[in-house]
Homo-oligomer: A and B are copies of this chain.
């Protein structure tokens, strides 16, 4: 079985409070023995990678450009797709689950893609942006599942482990 992976998605220019939350998410993912995937760039992406690396985790950065030099300093494995922002699809698909923090249109596209790819999605409830707007809601009213809402990194991981029957 390939390694468990959680994708972290969110804003490239979030404020310090949100970045601290992203770092804590990365740390919690690493402590649970799960690899972290993200878009490999700045903001929430960089902060979550840093948190994971500080706790011995593994990080995968799925880049829009075709140069690894655009990866943040905490990316272990850089995937330089050369696809531009179409790489958002791969970010959303690479995680067994997706955690959303803050975020604007790019993050919104990733949440939507994760939804129709049937991923478990957890949004941090007080993190602002599209994560906060969609926490606890349905993307598609014809389905019964929701974007889960979590108040903390621990709760986000608890939800994912429960939904995916991870132990």
Contacts and interface: CB of A to CB of B under 8 A. Distances in A.
B78 A2 contact: yes
B77 A93 contact: no
B109 A77 contact: no
A80 interface: yes
Interface string A127-145: 0000000000001101000
Interface string A56-92: 0010111000101001000111111111111001100
A77 to B, nearest CB: 6
A25 B105 CA distance: 26
Count this chain's copies in the assembly.
Answer: 4
A66 B117 contact: yes
**Interface size range on A against B:** 35 or more
B83 A84 contact: yes
Given A139-B104, A139-B105, A2 B77 contact: yes
B66 A108 contact: no
B80 A77 contact: no
A90 B79 contact: yes
A90 B84 CA distance: 11
A16 interface: no
Given A84-B66, A89-B86, A140 B79 contact: no
A35 interface: yes
Contacts of A113: 85, 105, 109
A93 B104 contact: no
Contacts of A66: 84, 93, 117
